[in-house]
Amino acid sequence: MSEATPKAREHWSGSLGFVLAAAGSAIGLGNIWKFPYITGENGGGAFVLVYLLCIAVIGLPVMICEIAIGRRTQRNPVGAFHELSPATSLLAHGIGLAVLLTGASLLLFRVWGWGAVLIAVGLLIFRFGWTLVGFMGVVAGFTILSFYSVVAGWTLGYILEAVTGRLNFTEVAQAKEFFGGFITNPAWAIGCHIAFMLMCIAIVAGGVKKGIERWSKILMPLLLLLLVALIIRALTLPGSTAGVRFYLRPDFSRITAQSVLIALGHAFFSLSLGMGAMITYGSYLSREQNLLSSSFSIVVLDTVIALMAGLAIFPAVFAYGFGPDAGPGLVFQVLPTVFHRMPLGVLWAAIFFLLLLVAALTSAISLLEVVTAYFIDERKWPRSRATWVMGGLITLLGVLCAISVADWSRLEFLHRALVWAFGGVKDSFFDVMDHISSNWLLPLGGFFISLFVGWIWGVKHAVDEIRHGSQNFADVHLISLLAGLKDDPSHNANPHVLTLASLWGIFIRFISPTAVLIAFLHTIGWLDFKPKPPAPPPAASVESAVENP
C-alpha cells in the first residue's frame, strides 16, 4: 500500500462549500423528475418510507465510504483506488478469473459480443485490479452525462417554450404529442443539449472554488426558493389535499419486493453513489472538516428535496384531476397541462423548468468533474484542456443520444453492428447509454466500493480517516450518544464495542454489498420477484426513451 503524501491541491473553502457542492451533485433530475414518478407508480406513501429506509441503511454508509476514500487519497477515483490497493489482491484475481472463464465459455456457445466483452473485462481486472473500479467511475461519468445532458437540454428548451407561451395544452394527449415532436426535432434537441454542455464546461473550467463551489452557492439556494414557491402554489389549489393524502398516507399493500429494489437502485442514483463523484468531491476536502456530519447533511438535503418535489407535484396533479402514475412523462406532459390550467400558468411552468435545469446543472458538473479530475491528476493536463476536450467529447456522444432518442433510424450502421454482436439492443442509443450506466456501472461500482472499503482497504484504515474532524464517530459509545451522555467520561470508558464506527463497519462489510448485489441481479434480470406481469404493450419509442435517467 503506497503512502504517497498528498500534493498541493485545491480545496473547498469550508464545510458549507463542500456540502452545497455535493448536495448539488446529489440533487438532480433524479429528485425532481424521477422520484415523483416512481413514487406515483409504486403506490405513494409506503414507497416513500421504503426509500427512506434504503437511504439510511445503504445510502449513508456508502456515501461515507466514498468521501473517506477521496479525502484520504486527495485524488480522483482512479488515483485513489491505485493508491489504496495492495500490490496483489487474491479477491481481484479470483473475480478476474471467473469473468474470463465465463467470457470464454460464452464464445464456445457463439455468443460473440458478450464473450468478447467479458474476456476483455477479465484481462483488464488482471492488469489493473481494484483500480478498474476507479476507471469504471470515469467511464460512467462519460456515459451518464451523455444522456443526462440531453434530458437537461429538454428542460432548457421547455423554459423557452413556456415563456413564449407554447406549452398551452388543455389535454395531456396534446402535451404528449408536442413533447414527442420536440425531442425528436434535431435542431431543438441538439441545440439545447450543446447549450447545456457549454454551461457545464464553463463552470467546471473555473475550478473547484471559483467554478463549482461558487456556482453551487448561488444555484442551490435558488433551487430551494423555486421549490418552496411551487409547493405553496400547489398546496393552495382547491382540491390539493387528495394529492397530499396519496403522497403521505402509506398503503403497505402496494409494496412488493420489486418496489423495494427500485427504491434501492434509485437511492444510489439519487445520492450520486457508485461512480466516484463523491470520491472526487471528497478529494477536495481538507482533513479538519467533519466528514461524518457533512455526509449526513448531504444525504438529508438530497432526501428532503426529493420529498419536497413530490409535494410540489402531486397536490397540483390531483387538484386538476390527473392520475399520479403517468410514468416518465409526468413532468414533461402532465405538468405543463396542469400549469396551463392554473392562473399565471406561464410563470409557474417557467419556474418549474428552471428548477429542473438548476438541479440538472449542479449534478452534471459533478459528472464532468470526475472525468476532468482524472485527466488533471493522472495525465497532468491543465484544467482548461481537460474540461474542454473531455466536455467536447461527451457533447459529441450526447449528440448521438439526442438524435436517437426515439429509435435507431439515424444510427442504422451502429445498430446493425450492435445487433450482430449482442443479438438484441435496447430501444435507442439513448436507452443503451442509460442502461449501461444506471443498471450496470453504478450498481457494480457501489458493490465494489463497499467491498473494497470493508475487505481490502479495511474498515480500520477508513475509520482512522473519518476520525479526523469527527472524533465522536469512532470513539463514543452508541448507547451513550443516543442517551445524551456522550460528554460524560464515565459513559465512554468501557471498551468501545457498540460505536457508530463499529456499526458502520458491519454495514459496509455485509449489508451494503449484499443488498446492492441483490438489486443488481434483479435489474439485469437474473432474479425475478415479479408475480408475472401482464405482457406490457410495446412501449411507444418516445416514452421508452425517457424511461430511467
Contacts with ligand PHE, residue ranges (CB under 6 A) = 25-26, 28-31, 144, 269-270, 272, 275, 277, 363, 366-367
In this complex, which beta carbon is closest to ligand PHE, that of residue 95 or of residue 275? 275
In this complex, which beta carbon is closest to ligand PHE, that of residue 216 or of residue 363? 363
* Shortest Å distance, C-beta 303 to ligand PHE: 11
* Shortest Å distance, C-beta 171 to ligand PHE: 29
Contact 386, 301 (CB under 8 A): no
Residue whose C-alpha cell is 460528554:
487
* Shortest Å distance, C-beta 67 to ligand PHE: 14
Work out the burial of residue 68: count CB atoms within 10 Å of its CB; fewer than 13 is exposed, 13-18 middle, 19 or more buried.
buried
* Shortest Å distance, C-beta 244 to ligand PHE: 24
Vertex 447 angle, CA 442 and 453, to 5°: 120
* Shortest Å distance, C-beta 29 to ligand PHE: 4
In this complex, which beta carbon is closest to ligand PHE, that of residue 144 or of residue 203? 144
In this complex, which beta carbon is closest to ligand PHE, that of residue 305 or of residue 459? 305
345-377 vs 131-163: helix axis angle to the nearest 10?
150
CA 234, CA 132: separation in Å to the nearest integer? Answer: 47
In this complex, which beta carbon is closest to ligand PHE, that of residue 430 or of residue 473? 430
In this complex, which beta carbon is closest to ligand PHE, that of residue 39 or of residue 240? 39
Contact 337, 170 (CB under 8 A): yes
Contact 155, 182 (CB under 8 A): no
Residue whose C-alpha cell is 483500480:
131
In this complex, which beta carbon is closest to ligand PHE, that of residue 32 or of residue 319? 32
CA 545, CA 523: separation in Å to the nearest integer? Answer: 18
Give Rg (Cα) of the chain: 23
* Shortest Å distance, C-beta 120 to ligand PHE: 24
In this complex, which beta carbon is closest to ligand PHE, that of residue 269 or of residue 507? 269
Q: What number of CA atoms fall less than 13 Å from residue 533's CA on the CB side?
A: 8
Q: Which residues contact 198 (CB under 8 A, 6 or more apart)?
A: none
Vertex 161 angle, CA 155 and 165, to 5°: 140
In this complex, which beta carbon is closest to ligand PHE, that of residue 269 or of residue 504? 269
**DSSP for 363-385, written as a single string:** HHHHHHHHHHHHHHHTT---HHH
In this complex, which beta carbon is closest to ligand PHE, that of residue 22 or of residue 501? 22
Q: Which residues contact 352 (CB under 8 A, 6 or more apart)?
A: 226, 230, 312, 331, 335, 339
All three cell numbers of 62: 456508502
In this complex, which beta carbon is closest to ligand PHE, that of residue 100 or of residue 152? 152
The gap between the terminal CA atoms of the chain, to the nearest Å, is 37
CA 504, CA 462: separation in Å to the nearest integer? Answer: 10
All three cell numbers of 467: 476520525
How many CB atoms are closer than 10 A to CB 537?
6
* Shortest Å distance, C-beta 31 to ligand PHE: 5
* Shortest Å distance, C-beta 354 to ligand PHE: 16
* Shortest Å distance, C-beta 26 to ligand PHE: 5
* Shortest Å distance, C-beta 363 to ligand PHE: 4
* Shortest Å distance, C-beta 299 to ligand PHE: 12
All three cell numbers of 486: 456522550
